[in-house]
Amino acid sequence: MGFLEINNLSVAYLQTAVVKNISFSLAEGETLGIAGESGCGKSTVAKAILGILPKSAKVTGSIKYREKELVGMPEKGFEALRGSEISMVFQDPSAALNPVRKIKHQFYDIFGTRHRERKAADSEIVHFLTHAHIASPDNMLDSYPSQLSGGMKQRVVIAMAISKMPRLIIADEPTSALDAEIRLQIIEELMGLKERLGFGMIYISHNLAELKKTADSIIIMKNGVVVEHAKTAELFSAPKESYTHELISAAK
């Protein structure tokens, strides 16, 4: 059974196509990297998979997740998928967290925890925070996002993303809002979790150096089009497109 199969996916706003006829597939447990400069359509692909594009976006083509067609699927279907099958880690953890809700309450929202179930939920939350290598997770439960550093916030977001044991994580530039010294830690965190939990991943970055560490294969996008798609080692040893050369030289 196919895990994720994308065929001739296009996304347009009004008359402007921002993603044009892209196709790729992902096997269960593998990591696909997507690279390309800002505005080339990376996040649009991610949002199309999760069904979170604005209503004004016209999506055509096919996105099959475990044989189920996601293009045109009603919102109810996506609700059943998001979090428990596919979840996303966004670029900016501050925007992903609710600033006026304690961390534990944000987990209760994800789990749908009732009042009397909270004690039991707390130990589960501590389990996932520990998974994301958060020290003293007990103290974290009653914290507000503003009390945490950027790196800690992203660890909490990652703990939330894995908390319903999804089979696919889409990480959309998960390090770009963080300080340089924290970036590597977050990449290692995601890779460690992937190793332990076995989920597949789409890892988006404008920096090919990050994809060299994380991806089994890489797609290079430019102006909404896939210009190159290769296994990671091949892409770095024998890039075919001059644009890929440019991105490799720019990566560090």
Ligand X SMILES: Nc1ncnc2c1ncn2[C@@H]1O[C@H](COP(=O)(O)OP(=O)(O)O)[C@@H](O)[C@H]1O
Site residues (CB under 6 A) for ligand X? Answer: 13, 18, 36, 38-44, 54
Partner touching 88 among Mg ion, ligand X, none, CB below 5 to 8 Å by kind: none
Q: Which is nearer to Mg ion, 43 or 244 (CB)?
A: 43
For residue 246 the two structure tokens come to 């440019």
191: part of which helix (H) or strand (E)?
helix 180-197
Minimal CB distance residue for Mg ion: 43
Q: Looking at 42-50, 73-81, 82-90, 209-217, which segment touches Mg ion (CB under 5 A)? A: 42-50
Q: How far is the CB of 33 from Mg ion (least distance, A)?
A: 14
Q: Which is nearer to ligand X, 90 or 108 (CB)?
A: 90
* Of 155, 159, 77, nearest in space to 111 by CA: 159
* Of 43, 42, 72, nearest in space to 58 by CA: 72
Partner touching 200 among ligand X, Mg ion, none, CB below 5 to 8 Å by kind: none
Partner touching 41 among ligand X, Mg ion, none, CB below 5 to 8 Å by kind: ligand X
- Do residues 23 and 7 lie in contact, with contact meaning Cβ atoms separated by under 8 Å? yes
Angle between the 103-111 and 150-162 helix axes, to the nearest 10 degrees?
Answer: 20
Q: How far is the CB of 86 from ligand X (least distance, A)?
A: 17
Q: How far is the CB of 36 from ligand X (least distance, A)?
A: 6
Q: How far is the CB of 172 from Mg ion (least distance, A)?
A: 6
Q: Is 106 in the site for Mg ion (CB under 5 A)?
A: no
Q: Which is nearer to ligand X, 11 or 126 (CB)?
A: 11
Angle between the 150-162 and 180-197 helix axes, to the nearest 10 degrees?
Answer: 20
* Of 88, 85, 47, 89, nearest in space to 67 by CA: 85
d(CA 182, CA 188): 10
CA dihedral of residues 89, 91, 93, 96 (deg, nearest 10): -70
Q: Which is nearer to Mg ion, 125 or 190 (CB)?
A: 190
Partner touching 18 among ligand X, Mg ion, none, CB below 5 to 8 Å by kind: ligand X
For residue 57 the two structure tokens come to 């976006």
238-to-32, 222, 231, 232, 242 alpha-carbon distances in Å: 18, 19, 10, 10, 11
Partner touching 39 among ligand X, Mg ion, none, CB below 5 to 8 Å by kind: ligand X
Q: How far is the CB of 19 from ligand X (least distance, A)?
A: 7
CA dihedral of residues 139, 107, 176, 21 (deg, nearest 10): 170
Q: Is 44 in the site for Mg ion (CB under 5 A)?
A: no
Partner touching 123 among Mg ion, ligand X, none, CB below 5 to 8 Å by kind: none
Q: Which is nearer to ligand X, 13 or 147 (CB)?
A: 13
List residues near Mg ion by CB under 5 A.
Answer: 42-43
